[in-house]
A and B are shown apart, each in its own frame.
Chain A
Amino acid sequence: MSERTYWQRMRRRQMSRRSLLSASARAGVGAAGLALVGCGDDDDDDAPAVTTTQQAQQQEQQAAQQAADVEQQQQQAAAQQQAQQQAMQQQAAQQQQAQQQAARQQAMVGEKRYGGSIIEQSANVYETWDPQRTVASPVLQVLARVQSKLLRFENPNSGELTSDLAESWETPDATTIVLHLDPGITWHNSGPGASNPAAAAGRAFTTEDVAWNINRQRNKTLADGTETGDFGRSAYWGGLDQIDQADGSVTLTLSEPDATYLQGLANEFNLFNQPELVSANEDRHTEIDPARVIGTGPFILTRWDPGEGISAVRNPDFFGLPELPHLDSYVWVQSFQDPNAYRIAFEQKQVDSMTDPDPNTILAIHDDRQDETYLTYQGVANTVAIFTPSNKPPWNDLRLTRAIDLAVNRRQLIQQLHNGFGKVSGPVSWMQDAWAIPQADLETIPGYRIDKDADVEEARALWNAAGGPELGQIDWVTSELWASRAAWSATPGIIAEMFNRAFDTDQFNGITKPYLEVIPSWLAHDFDPFFSWIPNIEIPDARADMIGAFTTGAGSNYWDISDPYIDETLLAAKQELDYETALQMVRRVQDYVMERGQFGRSICYNYIFPAIRFNYNHPQLSSPEEGWNFLDTSLQALEQWIDPDDPSIEGRNPPPPTPL
């Protein structure tokens, strides 16, 4: 349990700093002492006896010289002592300052406390209670607090893993993962799900449960043998060749070496159901009911009434107790369709946090309540991209594809559509922190340059050289779902105007299409030029996304890219167990791809939502102002806490959760 939390690590770091300062001070004192001892040592040296006048004179001269030397040494020693004293004083002052800063920080943050309830807004729509059959993240926001995965992310930005159902794991080679289950895990023993006659309440979690959940998805079959296509993770689990169970351990054998597979086990979609309860209810999986949900997680679902309210209370038998979780309960209230209602709820402390598509609303509230609130900035994992169909004429001319990639004014789009809240992304999203090209590097890469005129000039030259002006009208598709949002309704026109201006033409025309048409056209490799969200990033390790998009015949390679260099490098990276080497390989491919207009898969940016919270509300953050990139729901479930001593909590009257 050591090194488990940020706070523990923080305290350790504070201790280390203090130790370092103390050691420095001690070293300073020691050095000063040594200097003094050295001076004294010189004083105590005995002079040899002389008999002659010359010798006497020499002796006198030597004595005078010695006296002068001693005086000089004494002066030097005094100066050194003074310098050492000043250094000591400075170090002491630094130490005091560090202590004061730590104390201030401590006073501001308070001791991490247990108990309390967090009140947040929920979604109104949940299409299923089965995490293995959902495609929507709101379902996971609820269930990741109730159910568990084999592993979870301790650091969602870097992908650092920690134990969940598996207390430890080994990867003897690139095709084998051995997971040792925590022997103390039991299914929920109280609440609506446990009261369901079909549930095996309180039963120990076993390796059979693991195998049942994986096989269900791998085989795409329900308990009655019916095949179904709605297991969204079937492709992932299909990568397994074999599952072996022995003495509380599960060995997963991959069909081919894949160094990224381990992180997939911590993906929020890979939550584990109880076989008995799910088998009895899976024919009604779209009818939301807390009595159909049971888990092994830190909270027990007590209410799940979409559009009205949801609550979950702490699991008294959770295997992480007594350290985790910190909260007693979560209460999700119905979503607010109007910012006015959300603002009332937040400002009157009926909810503990607030986000809004219009960042100005959040900033205005923060301006009014600076003393009791703070802002954080959360990236949105749905990456925004331009897709150019480079697999078919006329776009299969690399000059045109590159011209489009260069002409996309990513920073202007962030400004126009997201009030400036967002960061440009290269082939790997900036949210996949470790793998992405740093923002400073991107600023010098064509297509992403701060000096957009240079990009546009190059783009126009390529466009004209490839016969772009002769292409006639070009319809650029924006997804209907994107354009149906009030703030983004002008997007089709904005995209068309962006290209028309860049190429000094009026050929581009903005239109909308539903995803129902767009996605099948991608899969058929016969799509129109497109701008909108593209499917979510699944894990922090970017190798999986890069392989899926750029290698020959891969599932998301809608552009029919077939490049031996990319194939060789990415497939080698997939098998590479040395992280640094893999990072370098992916970076090389990113550079290669960007020199070729990203082959038509022009990733643009990931936007950011600011969120405001009262000071008493402490979610886990990656830094004081930044939320984690994504995949942090399990982390929050355990680590989020409330400070009852914070002055901002005055006047808060949270609605009680539905009890067990």
Chain B
Amino acid sequence: MQQYILRRLIGAVFVIFLTGTFMFFMLRLLPGDPAAASLGLDAGSISPEALEARNAELGLDQPAYQQYANWLWDTVRLDLGSPFSKRGVTVWYEIGRSLPYSIELSILIMIVGFSVAIPIGLLSAIYQDRWVDYVLRTLAILALAAPVFWTAAIATLAVLQWELFTIDVIAQPHFWEDPGAAFTWYLVPMFAGGFAGTAATMRLLRSQMLEVLRQDYVRTARAKGLRESLVITRHALRNALVPVLTVMGVTLATIIGSQVILENMFNIPGIGNKIISAFFGRDYPVVQALVLLIAVFVVVTNFVVDILYGIIDPRIRFS
């Protein structure tokens, strides 16, 4: 077990290192002038002296390998630097401000997603090849096929057209500050993200349930006179959820991906929103730090899921 964890840890560090390095060099290959962008310019109305001074201030006048070495050393020391676009604050400050929004939205999307996916997966398996199954599977395929931005845009247009409720994209309240306003703000993105992100889970759960329902121990449970609801929840669902749990780790990465889009569409100042603005502003320290943060998050989540997987199913050995 310890050896397994150690191996996985080394692998995780390597993945994070590769992701960071890849992002560092890719950013510098992209068109765009970070010094000009950091001055808020959209035209050539700047003197070369000012641009050069800005480049020196941002450390962009050094050769790429030197910049890379500096970045690597600073990152190891957990010094993420300052944003190009905002002097006087650190990237950590920006992360601290953005992360709570992203966590709120992630939790909501997962709650919506799994609370929809699990019952639908169950129902679809129980009523296999009946109209309920067909309808639910069609819905799942639709959810899989529809891009999250499309679902969110259509839902937004409906809200605006029929004036259903206020989506306050300016106040940006946290749940603990104004639960009502926060709920209506998050409502569309959480449903759009929830449907898109967990359709795969629903389909997996259905197939797992169908397999488990044909197992001998389920037949035995029925034969000994247990109620069907108990058979489903206590015997079938519990076993069917084991592989689903693994997929949840991957689903989480999907959710983070869709969050980048949703946070921008609804002006949620989370990590995804910050990445896009930093990316378009060629704010290298912010993009590098946030991509690294997401990489760490995805790697750690998958790592934890792998560990949990073995704990939930004792038949799995870490060898």
Contacts and interface: CB of A to CB of B under 8 A. Distances in A.
A454 interface: no
Contacts of A533: 42-45
Given A334-B269, A350-B170, A382 B47 contact: no
A382 B276 contact: no
Contacts of A138: 40
A126 interface: yes
Interface stretch (A19-27, A191-199, A237-245, A512-520): A512-520
Interface string A452-481: 000000000000000000000000000111
Contact of A515 (B30, B33, B269, B276): B33
B168 interface: yes
Interface stretch (B5-13, B49-57, B118-126, B249-257): B49-57
B152 interface: yes
Contacts of B31: 480, 483-484, 512, 514
Nearest to A520: B48
A533 B300 CA distance: 46
Interface stretch (B85-93, B139-147, B214-222): B85-93
A173 B266 CA distance: 58
Contacts of B246: none
Contacts of B87: 286-288
A126 B40 CA distance: 6
A655 B39 contact: no
A519 B48 contact: yes
Given A230-B49, A341-B266, A124 B85 contact: yes
Nearest to B283: A125
B40 A382 contact: no
Contact of A655 (B86, B153, B171): B171
A429 to B, nearest CB: 13
Contacts of B304: none
B37 A481 contact: yes
A382 B46 CA distance: 12
* B37, B87, B88, B156: most-surrounded residue (chain A CB, <10 A): B87
B75 interface: no
A192 to B, nearest CB: 15
Contacts of A523: 48
A41 interface: no
A22 B156 CA distance: 55
Contacts of A382: 42-43, 45
Interface residues of A, number: 56
B160 A343 contact: yes
Contacts of A344: 156, 160, 167, 169, 266-267
B281 A124 contact: yes
A393 interface: no
Interface string A354-388: 00000000000000100000000000001000000
B169 A345 contact: yes
Given A288-B88, A514-B33, A481 B264 contact: no
Given A135-B46, A337-B277, A514 B32 contact: yes
A287 B46 contact: no
A516 B35 contact: yes
Nearest to B281: A125
Interface in B94-130: none
A338 B44 contact: no
Nearest to A513: B31
Contact of B44 (A229, A333, A483, A535): A535
Contact of B170 (A484, A512, A655): A655
A523 B47 CA distance: 10
Contacts of A125: 37-40, 85-86, 281
Interface string A501-545: 000000000001011101110010000000011111000000000
Contacts of B153: 340
Given A340-B152, A520-B48, A347 B160 contact: yes
B41 interface: yes
Q: Give the interface SS of chain A, mostly helix, strand, loop or mixed.
A: loop
B36 interface: yes
Contact of B55 (A126, A287, A350, A516): A516
B232 to A, nearest CB: 41
B40 A127 contact: yes
B39 A136 contact: yes
A424 interface: no
B95 to A, nearest CB: 14
A307 interface: yes
A171 interface: no
A619 interface: no
B166 interface: yes
Nearest to B276: A337
A519 B39 CA distance: 16
Interface string B9-38: 000000000000000000000111101111
A139 interface: yes
Contacts of B160: 343-344, 347-348
B86 A515 contact: no
A169 interface: no
B85 A232 contact: no
Contacts of A518: 44
Interface in A117-157: 119, 123-127, 135-136, 138-139
B44 A350 contact: no
B273 interface: yes
Contacts of B293: none
A467 B215 CA distance: 83
A230 B156 contact: no
Contacts of A534: 43-44
Contacts of A338: 264-265, 267
A135 B50 contact: yes
Given A348-B160, A348-B166, A341 B33 contact: no
B280 interface: yes
A655 B35 CA distance: 33
Nearest to B266: A341
B39 A333 contact: no
Interface in A272-289: 284, 286-289
A352 B52 CA distance: 38
Contacts of A368: 161
Contacts of B166: 348
Contacts of A520: 48
Contacts of B269: 308, 334
Contacts of B266: 340-341, 344
Interface in B44-86: 44-55, 85-86
A187 to B, nearest CB: 25
Interface string A575-602: 0000000000000000000000000000
Contacts of A201: none
Contact of B265 (A136, A340, A535): A340
Nearest to A289: B88
A382 B43 CA distance: 7
Contacts of B35: 516
A284 B38 CA distance: 16
Given A124-B85, A287-B87, A338-B264, A519 B44 contact: yes
A45 to B, nearest CB: 81
A229 to B, nearest CB: 4
Given A306-B85, A350-B169, A135 B47 contact: yes
Q: Closest 9 A-B residue pairs measured CB to CB?
A: A287-B88, A125-B40, A341-B267, A480-B31, A533-B43, A382-B43, A514-B33, A338-B264, A136-B40
20 contacts: A139-B40, A229-B47, A229-B53, A286-B87, A288-B86, A306-B85, A306-B86, A333-B170, A337-B264, A337-B276, A340-B152, A344-B160, A347-B160, A350-B169, A481-B32, A481-B43, A516-B35, A520-B48, A533-B44, A534-B43
Interface of B: 30-33, 35-55, 85-88, 152-153, 156, 160-161, 166-171, 264-267, 269, 273, 276-277, 280-281
Given A232-B47, A337-B277, 5 more contacts: A288-B88, A337-B264, A348-B166, A350-B169, A515-B41
